[in-house]
């Protein structure tokens, strides 16, 4: 398991006590504790450590025992034979060692043999070359599976962060709609008083009534959105209510600005490493399939003893032996088809890797442009909001003294509301883009751990 994932798990499970102020790290922890999808991801990654052992040659010591007993028809004689054999393969060196002892008893014949032999691969799996290639391939498969699981972890984390951002921004918009409704009611009372005193026209009174209805309509829409968002939060965290934290969003904005500027090496991006890993595995798989069709040439050396009694004649024979064994497989259509498919898979993965590199280059360019756009506009909107609030306050005073008409005041109020909602939209866009940017360059888990 990679270091970043370990840190992530420490982050989310290190404390069972919730913070007094509900922050992003609390939201993530609760999401993980509640959601079985995270447990599924964790268990799936645990399986990766068995990939190598599952497919490598066992290299275990093998013990076999055979015993046969046959009865001869029309006779009381029996034929008995038994063999015990102990063997072990050393696949990484292409070596096999075996020790065997056989015994046979037949009428008038007794036979006993002891044999020790060593067999060494010289061509196919020469000195364990093919086994080491398989081992390298399996290690890469395990590493690739871990990288893909890390990607799944970050996707899950990104989903949780997006849910938190959505909730907080939706709550901010709800409060804006609530404040706007309160201001509109205040303005409506002001216009009503002027209308009663015949200072304002009936048209002004109707306009203020229309503004009030519109503000109530907007508030109801925002209230509905917030209630729907609360239901999603409850499903994700088990909490019926999550605190609204505008300060948390500003803190995250500042922190993400810092992380956005971190240096990036696109060659170390996990998405590219995964594409490279798949291609490397495909190349090894093709080589393994080709070698499966190679001839086998083995050096065999050993020692044997034989003792036998045949019709009262005894034989005792001992010998050392050295030799070569050779076998040549015949090519078949299935093997040729497997090699052909593996070769095409390799070519396809070369294309996929090139596409992944291009996609990363494009994403980096797009992210940088969009992040720059939204961060700069948030700074501008901050200034515009301060000016719009000041202007609306001044225009409201001027209207109360009859120095401007109602239409002008309503326009200033709409300008202020537009900037406020636009600020929330830009903030959400920037926060979401920043989280996705950190996910692209594999910093999202580390960022969360730093909270």
First-to-last alpha carbon distance for the chain, in angstroms, is 22
Q: How many Cα atoms occupy the beta-carbon half-sphere of 275 within 13 Å?
A: 20
The strands making up 78-90's β-sheet, listed across from edge to edge, are 61-71, 78-90, 95-106, 109-121, 296-310, 313-327
For the stretch 267-324, pLDDT in tens is 889 999 999 999 999 999 999 999 888 888 999 999 999 888 877 778 888 999 999 9
Interval 85-102 mean pLDDT: 91
Looking at residue 15, its pLDDT comes to: 36
Q: Does residue 153 contact residue 8 with C-beta atoms inside 8 Å?
A: yes
Measure the CA–CA gap between 90 and 276, rounded to whole angstroms.
31
Looking at residue 21, its pLDDT comes to: 52
Q: Does residue 353 contact residue 269 with C-beta atoms inside 8 Å?
A: no
Instruction: Band the pLDDT of 210: cuts 50, 70, 90.
Output: very high
For the stretch 242-280, pLDDT in tens is 888 878 888 898 889 888 878 788 888 999 999 999 999
Q: Is residue 219 over pLDDT 80?
A: yes
Q: How many Cα atoms occupy the beta-carbon half-sphere of 205 within 13 Å?
A: 11
The closest of 228, 225, 233 to 164, measured between CA atoms, is: 233
Looking at residue 14, its pLDDT comes to: 37
The closest of 61, 136, 62, 132 to 93, measured between CA atoms, is: 132
Interval 179-198 mean pLDDT: 93
Residue 286 CA to its chain's centroid (Å): 27
DSSP string covering 231-274: HHHHHHHS-S-----HHHHHHHHHHHHHHHTS---GGG-HHHHH
DSSP string covering 35-67: -HHHHHHHHHHHGGGGHHHHHS----EEEEEEE
Measure the CA–CA gap between 395 and 401, rounded to whole angstroms.
10
Q: Is residue 3 over pLDDT 60?
A: no
The closest of 414, 383, 450, 435 to 154, measured between CA atoms, is: 435
Q: Is residue 396 over pLDDT 60?
A: yes
Measure the CA–CA gap between 373 and 434, rounded to whole angstroms.
12
Looking at residue 251, its pLDDT comes to: 87
User: What angle, rounded to 10 degrees, do the helices at 3-13 and 129-196 form?
Assistant: 40
Instruction: Band the pLDDT of 8: cuts 50, 70, 90.
Output: very low
Q: Is residue 206 over pLDDT 60?
A: yes
Q: Does residue 139 contact residue 430 with C-beta atoms inside 8 Å?
A: no
Residue 25 CA to its chain's centroid (Å): 19
Residue 438 CA to its chain's centroid (Å): 14
Rounded-to-10 torsion of CA 386, 388, 391, 397: -100
Q: Is residue 426 over pLDDT 80?
A: yes
Percent of the chain at pLDDT > 90 equals 58
Kindly report the average pLDDT of the chain as a whole number. Answer: 88
């Amino acid at each position: 398991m990679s270091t970043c994932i370990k840190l992530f798990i420490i982050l989310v499970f290190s404390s069972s006590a919730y913070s007094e102020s509900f922050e992003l790290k609390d939201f993530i922890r609760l999401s993980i504790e509640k959601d079985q999808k995270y447990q599924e991801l964790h268990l799936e990654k645990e399986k990766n450590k068995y990939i190598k052992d599952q497919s490598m040659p066992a290299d275990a010591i093998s013990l076999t025992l055979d015993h046969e007993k046959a009865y001869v028809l029309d006779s009381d004689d029996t034929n008995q034979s038994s063999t015990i054999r102990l063997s072990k393969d050393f696949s990484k060196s292409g070596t096999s060692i075996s020790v065997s002892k056989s015994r046979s008893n037949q009428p008038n014949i007794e036979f006993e043999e002891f044999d020790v032999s060593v067999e060494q691969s010289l061509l196919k799996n020469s000195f364990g070359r093919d086994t080491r290639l398989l081992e390298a391939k399996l290690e890469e498969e395990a590493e690739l599976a871990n990288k893909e699981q890390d990607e799944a972890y970050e996707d899950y984390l990104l989903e949780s962060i997006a849910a938190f951002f959505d909730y907080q921004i939706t709550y901010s918009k709800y409060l804006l709609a609530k404040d706007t409704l309160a201001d509109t009611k205040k303005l409506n009372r002001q216009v009503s008083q002027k209308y009663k005193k015949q200072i304002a026209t009936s048209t002004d009174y109707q306009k203020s009534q229309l503004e009030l209805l519109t503000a109530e309509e907007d508030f109801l829409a925002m209230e509905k959105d917030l209630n729907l968002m609360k239901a999603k939060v409850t499903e994700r965290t088990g909490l019926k209510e999550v605190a609204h934290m505008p300060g948390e969003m500003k803190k995250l904005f500042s922190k993400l600005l810092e992380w956005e500027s971190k240096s990036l090496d696109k060659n170390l991006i996990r998405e590219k490493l995964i594409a490279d890993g798949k291609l490397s595995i495909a190349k090894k798989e093709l080589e393994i399939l080709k070698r499966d069709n190679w001839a086998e040439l083995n050096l065999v050396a050993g020692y044997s003893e034989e003792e036998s009694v045949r019709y009262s004649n005894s034989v005792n024979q001992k010998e050392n032996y050295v030799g070569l064994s050779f076998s040549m497989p015949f090519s078949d259509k299935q093997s040729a088809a497997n090699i052909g498919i593996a070769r095409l898979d390799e070519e396809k993965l070369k294309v996929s890797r090139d596409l992944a590199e291009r996609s990363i280059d494009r994403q980096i360019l797009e992210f940088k442009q969009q992040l720059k756009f939204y961060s700069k506009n948030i700074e501008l909107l901050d200034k515009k909001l301060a000016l719009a609030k000041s202007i609306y306050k001044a225009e409201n005073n001027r209207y109360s003294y009859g120095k401007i008409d109602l239409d002008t005041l309503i326009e200033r109020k709409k300008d202020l509301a537009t900037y406020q909602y636009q600020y929330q939209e830009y903030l959400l866009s920037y926060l979401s883009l920043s989280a996705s940017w950190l996910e692209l360059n594999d910093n999202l888990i580390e960022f969360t751990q730093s909270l």
